[in-house]
Amino acid sequence: MDLSDAIQRKIDEKTKPIGALGRIEALAAQIAALQKTLNPQMNACRLLIFAADHGLATEGVSAYPQSVTRQMVLNFLAGGAASTTFARTLGVDVAVVDCGVAGVPIADPRLHARRCGAGTANSLTAAAMTEAQCVAARQTGAELAIAGAYDALCLGEMGIANTSAASLIAHKLTDIPLDALIGKGTGLDDAGLQRKHAVLSRAAARTPARLPPAIALREYGGFEIAAMVGAMIAGAQAGRLILIDGFIASVAALIAQHEAPDAAAHFVYAHCSAERGHRAVLAALGARPLLDLDMRLGEGTGALLAWPLVRVACAMLNEMASFTSAQVDGPQ
């Protein structure tokens, strides 16, 4: 009997009808297969929040000013954001990373300062990143993804205008029309959404209709998105479970899955964001998220909410009685 068959047999022998725990059973099987054991462990998780600014923000594609990126980094460090509140409640470690916040560097010993620049260039008129900047951002994510003794990683981001960047990347990598990807982001009104659509349409017209993933990332991405790509690939190669958050993280996963197909087995899509376009990106990935809570915040909030499900999936496999051990009659 090979390992996958043994895992499924162990799940089916638990004191329940076959398949009665639904997605929890599939999640347990995924984790056991990754760790190559019938008794997988999921004890420690870390949230990586990558923050960076986008030159495209100057075109008015967000309801919030670019200064909010810096202010939210300080809020993360103080523990006052939704993501840090969730992480604290769930016992998840947090690392906040400045990949390229606009303005002068933030001086705080709690911050991982890995700046690739003071924000990207404006992708309406030029490539967002140089090749060297993109490589550096990816390396930042890779290094942090393998640091420490963690079983799982939650990946979050912060950067005003990064839903615009993610929409452009997804459009260049798939057959999804730009119209289907552009949403209200941080809360644009109808006029703001029209302006965002006009700006992104012009930005998209600057390059060929389809681009290779690495080029799309460099042309339209952000330092924080590139860092997530690096973290996803390196974290998977290190054997870690990767809990993928919403729209922006899923676009990073599009690139990671293309470049490192084996990494996809390590990915758990935590939730379906209310941000327009996320369902289309999930469909392109062939992904089925665990949760659908009408959330659209980012920061890793949705990924964090999947962590308890990961832990109970392991507990089910390791601690739930079998029909034999509990002396319960099985199916006839």
**Residues 314-326: pLDDT tens digits?**
999 999 999 999 9
Q: What's the mean per-residue pLDDT of the chain?
A: 97
Q: Residue 2 has what pLDDT?
A: 94
Tell me: pLDDT of 183 over 90.
no
136-158 in b/e form (b: 16+ CB < 10 A) is: bbbbbbbebbbeeebbbbbbbbb
Asked whether residue 12 is domain-assigned, the answer is no
Q: Which residues are catalytic?
A: 299
Tell me: pLDDT of 185 over 80.
no
CATH number, domain containing residue 83: 3.40.50.10210
Residue given tokens 């003794």 in the structure block: 149
Model confidence over 279-296: pLDDT tens digits?
999 999 999 999 999 999
Asked whether residue 239 is domain-assigned, the answer is yes
Asked whether residue 36 is domain-assigned, the answer is no
With cut-offs at 50, 70 and 90, classify the pLDDT of residue 188. Answer: confident
For residues 247 and 145, what is the distance between their CA atoms, to the nearest angstrom?
Answer: 20
Asked whether residue 238 is domain-assigned, the answer is yes
Please spell the DSSP secondary structure of 255-276, one letter per residue.
Answer: HHHHH-GGGGGGEEE-B--SST
Comparing CA positions, the residue from 314, 166, 304 lying closest to residue 243 is 304
With cut-offs at 50, 70 and 90, classify the pLDDT of residue 184. Answer: confident
For residues 122 and 298, what is the distance between their CA atoms, to the nearest angstrom?
Answer: 22
Number of structural domains (the chain) is 1
With cut-offs at 50, 70 and 90, classify the pLDDT of residue 330. Answer: confident
Q: Residue 186 has what pLDDT?
A: 74
Model confidence over 245-272: pLDDT tens digits?
999 999 999 999 999 999 999 999 999 9
Structural domain boundaries, residue 270 = 45-315
Q: Residue 192 has what pLDDT?
A: 87
Asked whether residue 16 is domain-assigned, the answer is no
Quick one: tokens of 16?
Answer: 């329940």
Q: What percentage of the chain carries pLDDT values higher than 70? A: 100
Model confidence over 195-212: pLDDT tens digits?
999 999 999 999 999 999
Q: Where are the alpha helices (DSSP H) in the chain?
A: 3-12, 23-35, 67-78, 82-90, 131-145, 162-173, 190-204, 213-220, 223-237, 247-259, 278-285, 301-319, 323-326
CB 46 within 8 A of CB 95: yes
Model confidence over 48-62: pLDDT tens digits?
999 999 999 999 999
Mean pLDDT over residues 85-100, rounded?
98
Q: What percentage of the chain carries pLDDT values higher than 90? A: 95
Tell me: pLDDT of 1 over 80.
no
Asked whether residue 22 is domain-assigned, the answer is no
For residues 29 and 8, what is the distance between their CA atoms, to the nearest angstrom?
Answer: 7
pTM of the predicted structure, to 2 decimals: 0.97
